[in-house]
Amino acid sequence: MSTLFAFLVGIDKYPNPNHQLFGCVRDQTALKQYLGQFAQGAGFELNLIELMNENATRAAVIKGFGHFQKAGAGDICLFSFSGHGSRNDAPEAFWHLEPSKLNQSLVLWDSRTEGGLDLMDKELSYLIWNATRDKASQFIAIMDCCHSGSGTRKAEEARSRIVEKGSDKRNLEQMEGMLPTKRGNDGRLSPPRGKHILLAAARTISWPKSLPSKGKPEAYLHSASSKPFGNMATS
């Protein structure tokens, strides 16, 4: 029997009172319920871990990607994040990838505490690559961050899912997975990229629908379980 390995992260209650959100944990709980139904109906065994609110620290999320190491041929891996997104100044080595000279990032529970760090998109790229390399399993990433509004939520629950630009000035050597990454002769750096399907709920100017009513994750999961992954990969 094939296995659906799922890793869900949802953060409503950030340490900073100004960063509080509504609905992130609720959406992940709804996704968890759906995944159980999907796995049962599609003949998959569900192996799921979750980190919610104060448990979703940077270290815990990075460690959580080890959950996918047991995946093999015929399995599906799914990572879902619901919480704040942000941006940080990109090191010059990444400017060829970022015309804005800004990295995108996930704001984890302790990211904006003293000494805390966001999880950069380049780090996430490495984590997905590390989880998928030399494997025939399929990987789906769901990102519900940046702006999220009242499309299917009550008006009083609408909150921006993006916070102020971070002041992260760390060196490349301090970024997860960057040490084994090769530089070009021109000093440019490109993190490794594993094949995966990325579902982004919103950008900074959009208004995503809430997962339980309009998200339709089943379409992607059914496709992933019935088609060759190489034909579906978007990255």
Domains of the chain: 20-231 (3.40.50)
Residue 9 β-bridge partners: 51, 81
Q: Which of residues 152 and 141 earns the better pLDDT score?
A: 141
Residue 26 CB neighbour total at 10 angstroms:
17
140 Cβ neighbours under 8 A, 6+ residues apart: 76, 77, 78, 79, 196, 197, 199, 220, 221, 224
pTM reported for the whole predicted model? 0.76
- Binned at pLDDT 50, 70 and 90, residue 161 comes out as low
| pLDDT tens per residue, range 48-67 | 999 999 999 999 999 999 99
Q: Up-side HSE of residue 62: CA atoms within 13 Å toward CB?
A: 17
DSSP-derived secondary structure for 49-70: EEEEGGG--HHHHHHHGGGGGG
- Binned at pLDDT 50, 70 and 90, residue 109 comes out as very high
| pLDDT tens per residue, range 185-197 | 666 766 666 677 8
Average pLDDT of 159-186? 61
Cα radius of gyration (the chain):
17
- Binned at pLDDT 50, 70 and 90, residue 229 comes out as very low
Cα distance between residue 176 and residue 174, in whole Å: 6
